[in-house]
Structure 1
């Protein structure tokens, strides 16, 4: 009888094939881990850029509102014989509110021009936060002037107290602006002094404009 043909046995996996497969698997894992690290780094950089942008806008709005408020207080001190505490209070509230609203509308217009739509979500929250920060610079001086209008404190005390408050705000904003830089400490102090001098020059011009 003729024996049935036997099927040839297939060769088993070679050791070098197993090594290649393991290497390929490790390479895929390595590539996946690298991609995950890149995505995590992108998210961190995006968050960092967002915080830097928020910090920049908050400082900018604080400077704008503080300059305006300080100039109004200086004008009220110059013309103390002609302006009452109520007049200074109304001028301060309207002046700071006007500059903050103008800044908010400018940010809305800029966002619309760049992105083609009005801000919403986190963008709108940021713009609102910036506007509130600008208004916040006038809270303490406003309270002092309210007390002066009610006769609780003298108007001179309220105005001088407002000056000291704004000077403290300027110093704080200036220090925030330079402390995050990589400059040596003496250059940071020089930059802070330059900002203060420029600030006084700007306030002088604004005060002159308000007094005319």
Structure 2
């Protein structure tokens, strides 16, 4: 019977890709958090305007990442990226787009009259902060930290998210 245990190189590659995807998701959450708070405190946002801001932010981040990665590759490696490397870049950067799904769904729900738009935007911001905390907790547990230490990491990550909210609130719209 053949050994089906993945090689250490394959495991390392999977971990690197997962790390890149999570990093992109965290960057997107922090950026989107500022946009959501700006929209929520901005006075009289419209459903269409809020959705456009959220989608434009996600797409803009994604395109900026693609441009940066594809421009950096030749400098770092002395050659253009291969098709496989481009596919990997598209895969690892996709969380920049998926971060907009929750807020857009809540904005859409608000458009049906189920909740006020400002409430939908604040709930979206809250879920982004909660997601940061959950990723912090999961990371703590993954490295073998106990529940208490993992909660401390989660609280620190949530504090970073709340810091973004606080700066945005202090700066005004």
The two structures have a TM-score, normalised by structure 1, of 0.68
Match of 1:46 in 2: 9
| Equivalences for residues 34-113 of structure 1 within 5 A | 44-79=7-42, 81-113=43-75
Q: Closer, same or farther in 2 for the Cα pair 1:98/1:184, shift >3 Å?
A: same
| Equivalences for residues 14-53 of structure 1 within 5 A | 44-53=7-16
Q: Indicate yes or no: 2:140 matched with 1:178.
A: yes
Could you list the runs of 5+ residues in structure 1 that have no partner in the other structure? 1-40
Distance 1:152 1:101 in 2: 33
Q: Which has the higher contact order (CA 8 A, sep 6+)?
A: 2
Distance 2:149 2:57 in 1: 34
Conserved in 2, the CA contact under 8 Å of 1:72 and 1:207? no
| Equivalences for residues 159-178 of structure 1 within 5 A | 159-178=121-140
SS in structure 1 of the partner of residue 145 of structure 2: coil
Q: Closer, same or farther in 2 for the Cα pair 1:82/1:129, shift >3 Å?
A: same
Distance 2:158 2:8 in 1: 32
- 1:152: Cα distance to partner? 5.9
Q: Closer, same or farther in 2 for the Cα pair 1:96/1:137, shift >3 Å?
A: same
The two structures have a TM-score, normalised by structure 2, of 0.81
Conserved in 1, the CA contact under 8 Å of 2:136 and 2:150? no
- Give the alignment's Cα RMSD to 1 decimal: 2.7
Match of 1:35 in 2: none
Distance 1:184 1:147 in 2: 38
- 1:78: Cα distance to partner? 1.3
1:118 pairs, out of 80, 97, 100, with 80
- 1:161: Cα distance to partner? 3.2
